[in-house]
Amino acid sequence: MEQKDILNRLWIDYSSQNPSAKKIHSLFGSEGETVENDHIAFRTFNDSRINIGVLSKLFLQCGYEPCGTYFFEEKKLNAVHYENKKTPNSPRVFISELILENFSPSLQKTLRDTLNKVSEKEYNQNELIFSGNIWGKPIFETYQKLREESEYAAWVYVFGFRANHFTVSVNSLKKYDTVEKVNSFLKKNGFVLNSSGGEVKGTPQELLEQSSTLADIVEIEFMDGKHKIPACYYEFAKRYPGPDGQLYSAFIAKSADKIFESTNFYKK
């Protein structure tokens, strides 16, 4: 599969499920901006059937290579970011995985039981990253229980394999060329930002500034009824050149840690 087809397919699924992202994207368009993606992020578990290595396969086939590894102690996550240096303007791909053995036996059992519902073959298929929740209708009570230990685990349990967020490259915007300008534009248009750790995460000295919307609240059909829960969010990133004159290309764990909270449960 070609890279642009992969990205289009991910965008179509993500933007149709998350109307705010679609609206923001077209708002920028109507301001004469051309939106480029800084990165696209995925979430998974460190189970060998679906870990980072498995999710990265399709990207490696298109020429992506691993460029940085990260560890999030509090959220108990590993992550790797990938870049495709052969294709100019390729978005980075950021894949994180929950370290299951660092959680309670009950959380581990719930998730392993969920994973066991599907055969190895389904996990091996090339299109896994587009497949969403392949485990069948989730149970709201299980979702709530997972959330007590990890919002991240609960999110993957319900939404499965899809882009968790796309990220607008603020460097590619002309009029809205700072994260602050993007943020006030979004607020003026009625969008709610993730303010955990401040609306802007990171500083020009750290060479990366980021912000994000709070995830859209969507109605999901659970086994035990319909419930409204946070889905995906839209992120904005501005990169600065380092001492070598090249734009900083990696991620800052302490900022990403706060960005992860954009899918925390909240009521609208």
Part in contact with Ni ion (CB under 5 A); list of ranges 39-47, 141-149, 221-229, 238-246 = 39-47
Closer by beta carbon to Ni ion, 107 or else 232? 232
Does residue number 6 form part of the binding site for Ni ion (CB under 5 A)? no
CB of 75 to Ni ion, least distance (A): 14
Contact flag: residue 83 with Ni ion (CB under 5 A) = no
Name the residue nearer to Ni ion (CB basis): 216 or 235. Answer: 235
Q: Which of residues 207-246 bind Ni ion (CB under 5 A)?
A: 235
Closest C-alpha to 170, from 188, 149, 155, 185: 185
**Shortest Å distance, C-beta 76 to Ni ion:** 18
Query: For Ni ion, which is the closer residue by CB, 41 or 98?
Result: 41
- Provide the minimum distance between the beta carbon of 169 and Ni ion in the complex, in angstroms, as a whole number: 12
Q: Which residues of 179-193 are buried (b: 16+ CB within 10 A; e: fewer)?
A: beebbebbeeeebeb
**Is residue 170 a contact point for Ni ion (CB under 5 A)?**
no
* φ/ψ of residue 95, rounded to 5: -120, 125
| Short-list 122, 113, 144, 112, CA closest to 46 | 112
Residue with smaller CB distance to Ni ion, 107 or 170 = 170
Nearest residue (CB) to Ni ion, 107 versus 215:
215
* Residue 41 interacting with Ni ion (CB under 5 A): yes
Write out the residues near Ni ion by the rule CB under 5 A. 41, 235
